[in-house]
Amino acid sequence: MDSPDIRRGDVAAFEKFSLQIQSLVGMLKTIGPDGEVELQCGSHVARLLSKLPPEQRADFRRCMYNRSGQTYTLNDLAMWLKYKSCCQDFDGLPPPKCVNERPDTTSRLTPTGPPPGKHQSNDTCRHECSCTGG
C-alpha cells in the first residue's frame, strides 16, 4: 500500500500495482478472520484507488455503480485491476494470456467473456466486467 502513484499511460506500473493488490488479497485470504476484516475494509480500497489516475478511479466506480451504497472490498478492486490489466493496450503486441476462472459469486466482477461496450481499445480481452456503463 506504500507504492507510488500510477501515472496515466504507465502500463508497466499499472501491471505491477495490479499484481501487488492481487498478492495482498491472496495473502489476506490465507490468514483467517483477521484477514477477512481487512478484505472488507473500504478505507483500504479508497487509499489504493487514490494511487490511480482520475480516469481509472472513475472507471472503477462506473464498474461498481450497480453496487452503490455498498462498501467496495479489496477483492472487488483486485478483480477489477486484473480485468483492466488483461485489457491494457500493449501497442500492437498480442494481448497477455488471460485465464478464465470460475466466477466469484461474491463479487460483481465476473471473468466470463468479451467486455460489453467499449472498456478499452483492445477487443481481444476475454474477461467481462458486470458494469453496464462501458
- Spans of all domains in the chain: 11-129
| Residue found by looking up cell 504507465 in the block | 10
72 secondary structure, DSSP code:
P
With CA atoms as reference, report the closest residue to 67 among 26, 109, 119. 109
pLDDT at res. 25: 95
Give the whole-number percent of the chain exceeding pLDDT 70. 63
Residue 13 has pLDDT above 50, yes or no: yes
pTM of the complete model beyond 0.85: no
The pLDDT tens digits for 19-67 are: 999 999 999 999 999 999 999 988 999 999 999 999 999 999 898 887 7
Residue written as grid cell 467486455: 115
Query: Which residues does 88 contact at the CB level (< 8 Å), separation at least 6?
Result: 11, 14, 15, 120, 122
Cα separation of 5 and 30, whole Å? 27
